[in-house]
Amino acid sequence: MNNRIYFDNAATTSLDKEVLDAMMPYLTTHFGNPSSIYSYGRETRLAVENARKAVAKILNAHPAEIFFTSGGTESSNTAITAAVRDLGCKHMITSPIEHHATMHTTEHLHDTGEAKLSLVKLLPNGHVDLENLEELLASITEKTLVTLLHANNEIGNILDIHVVGEICKKYNAIFHCDTVQTVGHYPFNLKETPVHFITSAGHKFHGPKGVGILYINEDVKIKPFINGGSQERNMRAGTENVYGIVGFAKALQMATDNYEKESTYIQELKKYMYDQLIAEIPGVRFHGDVLGNSLYTVLNVGFPKSEKSDMLLFNLDINNICVSGGSACTSGANQGSHVIKAVYPAEDTDSVRFSFSKENTKEEIDIVVEKLKEII
């Protein structure tokens, strides 16, 4: 096997050639600082604002609601911190299976005494218990922030963003939704979605790394998280990542234009691997709501424990197969997956996340399943 098989697209995707082509002029000829008043600056300022309009149109938001950032982590940090410090939220509700950008930020604000923190319960399949969410909101007297993933990056479960938004509206709570795994993979209509903040990162849908967005609903007024300049309409200081912003908009446009075809194709890959693993590997199990309300890009698999399986990721890596994983049990420096531990506390398997893109094939899946049979 000379060619590398890349099944870790939930971590990052390859940069699309058309996206790179759109970015190149802003890496070479159009190098001006968008804050400069001469022609070089005006060219790049126009590129940034055209990208903002394009992104807003795709998400059905107003351009003034779209702010460019360095990625999902910065966007989530900004939204969560602003909800506490600027919008008066004295209580935060999140889940035990959030991305660390949310978990660590809420824990920090709790540790500094700025806001209390509650964790919503999970259902046996890993979905958020919405009845428990409403019970928590009903019992809390302070203004509350609810911050939950739209789609879990490890097991793929999808939250009903509209139902959660309506629950938050009922209790006058602020709602931040980490949509890093879904923007670029599903259609959005933010004018019709009851949410105050969403976040996104370009590298999850074949755009560049180091650029993302924070959507801030027009009814929400917050202060900057990063200070030092008037960029992003005084909301986010720092010279704009012009070529990244151009690439983000191009990648999102391509993902939107090709959504029907590519999502169907990737869903078929996921189902094919699911079927092949069941047929070929005894004792295999799957995590999350696998064939239900789940990301079409993610398949999280629990493999039976064995002497060989302890080195599963390593053995896949030396066979040029790129995946990510975590185990429900902890050993040494490998703390395992906090998501698997939270949803399946009693399970003792080696957990591997396979995540697919438009560039993967069934032939690659056949090779990986054969290699897994050898290893396990």
Backbone angles phi and psi of 121, in degrees to 5: -70, 160
309 with 325: CB under 8 angstroms?
no
N-terminal to C-terminal alpha carbon distance within the chain: 19
Query: What are 44's two structure tokens?
Result: 């790049």
| Among 154, 121, 93, 194, CA closest to 302 | 154
State the Cα–Cα distance between residues 59 and 195, nearest whole angstrom.
13
State the Cα–Cα distance between residues 214 and 197, nearest whole angstrom.
7
Q: State the DSSP string of 253-294.
A: HHHHHTHHHHHHHHHHHHHHHHHHHHHHSTT-EEESSTTSSB
State the Cα–Cα distance between residues 158 and 311, nearest whole angstrom.
30
> Which residue of the set 89, 168, 322, 329 is catalytic?
329
273-285 in b/e form (b: 16+ CB < 10 A) is bbebbeeebeebb
Pairing of strands 116-119, 91-94: parallel
Contacts of 139 (CB under 8 A, 6+ apart): none
Active site residue 168: no
C-alpha separations of 201 from 76, 105, 215, 265 in Å: 11, 18, 12, 22
State the Cα–Cα distance between residues 123 and 322, nearest whole angstrom.
30
55 with 205: CB under 8 angstroms?
no
Contacts of 328 (CB under 8 A, 6+ apart): 302, 336, 337, 340, 341, 344, 345, 347, 348, 349, 351
Task: Give the burial class of 66: count Cβ atoms within 10 A of its Cβ; 0-12 exposed, 13-18 middle, 19 or more buried.
Answer: buried
127 with 149: CB under 8 angstroms?
no
Name 300's bridge partners: 287, 353
Active centre residues (catalytic): 329
